[in-house]
Amino acid sequence: MATMHKVFYQLPGKALRVCVTGAAGQIAYSLLYSVAKGDVFGKDQPIILTLLDIAPMMEVLKGVVMELQDCALPILQEVIATADEREAFTDIDVAMLVGAMPRREGMERKDLLKANAKIFQSQGKSLDQYAKKTVKVVVVGNPANTNALIAMKCAPSIPKENFSCLTRLDQNRAKSQIAGKCSVPTSAVKNVTIWGNHSSTQFPDAMHAVVVKDGKDLKATEAVNDDAWLKGDFITTVQKRGAAVIAARKLSSAMSAAKAICDHVRDWVQGTPDGEWVSMGVISDGNSYGVPEGLIYSFPVKLSGGKWTIVDGLSIDAFAREKMDLTAKELAEERDAAFEFIGN
């Protein structure tokens, strides 16, 4: 199938061009609906979706486009479905780079590096050539941090700050674990941090988190009142959650990943509430936590005016330091392996 172009409605106001790659895959199947109904950019913001997948998936993608049309979503102006990066990336405002091979049971995410590095090399170059220089990029395909670094390096004309990777799913998982432990709704848990790699070395950190209980802000450590759990099962549950979902579903997380992508981009565009932060994989250059420069590392960030700033000044004890360094070491190793694969 050649590029499929569907104009659904002509809407007043300037439409945002949003590209989703891996558009025929399982994450995209949940993600596209949420984006096109206004969960990310607002209920009144017209959207043009550009959908990229590989040529053999074009027939499947045709069905996805039919379904988007059949949803009769008022802000979805146009859909372009294509296997051509130039068409998918031209003049886009936002890129959600989901398309990549997922891991199967028994694999680590870094085992995907060889298969997926070339995808992000090619897409980085195409973003550099065709996307707006203001494009905001979130990389989801695994290993997400290193793929984001590859895309960033291959797109030197786009500011480094415009590249990020998804660790919001890990943050949401951590938040839910703490909410369950304290018997509060997830909305009562704030400022959980994910440090480092979206991998089993990530460090989910509740030391600075807050739990609102009976109308009062409590430190999560007090609300949970179980240090052994916070330093043990809590961390390993979050680190291994992706693998647990694969073991149960025989497929990787998709609904929760799509929700997390929406949370990530919505906060990037619309900002974080006062006094709250979220976690995003961003370039480590100039950070105050002693994380080596030149990595896409997940930090606590505040978002405002479409820009992120790392939250400085959180105390780091010896336990946290060790975990933060371990995940940085893994990222440095992944980076070296990836750049060897793509010959850079």
Ligand X SMILES: O=C(O)CCC(=O)C(=O)O
Ligand Y SMILES: NC(=O)C1=CN([C@@H]2O[C@H](COP(=O)(O)OP(=O)(O)OC[C@H]3O[C@@H](n4cnc5c(N)ncnc54)[C@H](O)[C@@H]3O)[C@@H](O)[C@H]2O)C=CC1
Q: Give binding residues as ranges.
A: 53, 103, 109, 116, 140-142, 173
Strand-pair partners of 149: none
| CB burial string 253-288: b at 16+ within 10 A, e below | bbebbbbbbbbbbbbbbeebeeeebbbbbbbbeebe
Q: Which of 17, 109, 190, 323 binds ligand X (CB under 6 A)?
A: 109
Q: Which of 252, 279, 298, 327 binds ligand X (CB under 6 A)?
A: 252
5 is catalytic: no
Sole window of 61-69, 153-161, 208-216, 238-246 interacting with ligand X (rule: CB under 6 A): 238-246
Q: What is the separation of C-alpha 176 from the centre of its chain, rounded to a whole number of angstroms?
A: 18
Q: Are 324 and 316 in contact (CB under 8 A)?
A: yes
Q: Which of 40, 58, 169, 331 binds ligand X (CB under 6 A)?
A: 169
Binding mask 79-118 toward ligand Y (x if CB under 6 A, else -) reads: -------------------xxxxxx---------------
Partner touching 199 among ligand Y, ligand X, none, CB below 5 to 8 Å by kind? none
Query: In this complex, which beta carbon is closest to ligand X, that of residue 126 or of residue 199?
Result: 199
Question: What is residue 37's three-state secondary structure?
Answer: coil
Is residue 253 close enough to count as binding ligand X by CB under 6 A? Answer: yes
Q: What is the separation of C-alpha 205 from the centre of its chain, rounded to a whole number of angstroms?
A: 18
Sole window of 6-14, 63-71, 79-87, 245-253 interacting with ligand X (rule: CB under 6 A): 245-253
Q: Are 144 and 151 in contact (CB under 8 A)?
A: no
Element (H, E) at 278: strand 278-283
Element (H, E) at 119: helix 113-130
Is residue 26 close enough to count as binding ligand Y by CB under 6 A? Answer: yes
Query: Which residues of the shown chain bind ligand X in the complex (CB under 6 A)?
Result: 102-103, 109, 142, 169, 242-243, 245, 252-253
